């Protein structure tokens, strides 16, 4: 098992008590981390099953970060993940039928596409719209990225990754 070079993640989930008072209902380390063969550590923070999402009142909400998901979010849903990429990780070209919001929290990383590469550094944000891509850390430092995947209408091209569990 590969350990992350970054400090542990802390996940804070808010909600309401029975009197409609806003409060923290979960606070601690996320419970669903996967250690990939490429050396990546992928931690599911939260997901939703539908849009608009169910944010019902109550303190006893399901831990939506404990769900077992593949790369894509549930149909009509969302998926929020933090992935740590070690230097020299082994990339895997893939495509999801999603719109992805990608935030570089630390380090730098390359996203290889069919015929081009874009380098992202800490503070960069990408809107990725269902393209073939592979995440490659060609630097000598680890990189930490946050991904928000939102289910999208199928493009009808190539072979998209759906329910396959992976770390990207």
DSSP state letters, 2-32: PPPSSPPP-EEEEEE-TT--EEEEEEE--S-
Flag whether 143 is in a domain: yes
Q: Tell me, what's the pLDDT at 146?
A: 98
Q: Tell me, what's the pLDDT at 162?
A: 59
Flag whether 78 is in a domain: yes
Flag whether 91 is in a domain: yes
Percentage of the chain beyond pLDDT 90 is 64
Q: How confident is the model at residue 104 (pLDDT cuts 50, 70, 90)?
A: very high
Structure confidence by residue, pLDDT tens digits, 132-163: 999 999 999 999 999 999 999 988 887 777 54
Domain range for 50 is 11-151
Q: How confident is the model at residue 3 (pLDDT cuts 50, 70, 90)?
A: low
Residue 127, pLDDT above cutoff 70: yes
Flag whether 17 is in a domain: yes
- For residue 57, the domain's CATH number is 2.60.120.10
Residue 69, pLDDT above cutoff 80: yes
Under 8 Å CB-to-CB from 105, ≥6 apart: which residues?
Answer: 82, 122, 144, 145, 146
DSSP 8-state secondary structure symbol assigned to residue 73:
P
As a whole number, mean pLDDT of residues 95-107 equals 95
Flag whether 161 is in a domain: no
Identify the helix (H) or strand (E) that includes residue 143: strand 143-151
Flag whether 6 is in a domain: no
Report the number of distinct structural domains present in the chain.
Answer: 1
> Three-state DSSP class for 105?
strand
Q: How far apart are CA 28 and CA 78, in angstroms?
A: 21
Give the residue among 159, 136, 154, 150 at the shortest CA–CA distance from 46. 150
Q: Tell me, what's the pLDDT at 167?
A: 41
pTM for the complete prediction? 0.88
Structure confidence by residue, pLDDT tens digits, 9-59: 999 999 999 899 999 999 999 999 998 877 889 999 999 999 899 888 878
Flag whether 163 is in a domain: no
Flag whether 22 is in a domain: yes
Q: Tell me, what's the pLDDT at 9?
A: 95
Q: Tell me, what's the pLDDT at 165?
A: 42
Q: Are 74 and 40 in contact, with CB atoms under 8 Å apart?
A: no
């Amino acid at each position: 098992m590969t350990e992350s070079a970054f400090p542990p993640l802390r996940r804070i989930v808010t909600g309401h008590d029975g009197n409609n008072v806003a409060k923290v209902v979960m606070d601690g380390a996320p419970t669903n981390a996967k250690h990939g063969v490429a050396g990546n550590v992928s931690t599911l923070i939260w997901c939703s099953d539908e849009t608009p999402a169910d944010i019902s009142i109550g303190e006893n909400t399901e831990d939506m970060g404990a769900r077992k998901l593949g790369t894509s979010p549930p149909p009509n849903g969302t998926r929020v993940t933090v992935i740590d990429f070690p230097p020299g990780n082994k990339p895997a070209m893939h495509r999801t039928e999603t719109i992805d919001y990608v935030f570089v929290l630390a380090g730098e990383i390359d996203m290889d596409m069919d015929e081009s590469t874009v380098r992202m550094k800490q503070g960069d944000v990408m809107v990725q719209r269902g393209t073939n891509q592979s995440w490659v850390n060609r630097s000598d430092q680890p990189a930490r990225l946050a991904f928000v995947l939102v289910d999208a209408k199928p493009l009808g091209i190539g072979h998209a990754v759906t329910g396959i569990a992976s770390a990207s």
